[in-house]
């Protein structure tokens, strides 16, 4: 419980970190919702819309059910 309190105090003292975490989550959620809606993956759409776990569920969906990462060029 002490580590949670330390994390909360860190977020209070650094609001830009909270903003960065929120933007990270929003990016992955919107991407996953877009792809799952277009591909008629209703279960994934509901899971990505309801579970908010720092983008983990959304990244798993994008990596396993779409070509999002297959077409991604890391050496641009």
Q: What is the pLDDT of residues 10-64, one digit of tens each?
A: 888 988 988 998 898 888 889 988 999 999 999 988 888 888 777 788 888 888 8
Q: Does residue 4 carry a pLDDT above 90?
A: no
Determine if the pTM surpasses 0.75.
no
Give the gyration radius of the chain's Cα atoms. Answer: 15
Asked if residue 13 is part of any domain, the answer here is no
- Please, is 32 exposed, middle or buried when counting C-beta atoms within 10 Å of its C-beta (0-12, 13-18, 19+)? buried
**Secondary structure class of 1 (helix, strand, coil):** coil
Q: If residue 45 lies in a helix (H) or strand (E), which one and from where to where?
A: helix 42-50
> How many independent structural domains does the chain possess?
1
Asked if residue 29 is part of any domain, the answer here is yes
Q: Does residue 8 carry a pLDDT above 80?
A: yes
* Domain ranges, residue 42: 22-76
Asked if residue 14 is part of any domain, the answer here is no
């Amino acid at each position: 419980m002490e580590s949670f309190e330390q994390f909360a105090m860190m977020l209070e003292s650094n609001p830009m970190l909270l903003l960065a975490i929120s933007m990270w989550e929003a990016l992955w959620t919107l991407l996953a919702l877009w792809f799952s809606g277009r591909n008629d993956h209703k279960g994934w759409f509901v899971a990505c819309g309801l579970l908010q776990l720092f983008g983990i569920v959304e990244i798993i969906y994008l990596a396993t059910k779409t070509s999002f990462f297959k077409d991604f060029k890391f050496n641009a």
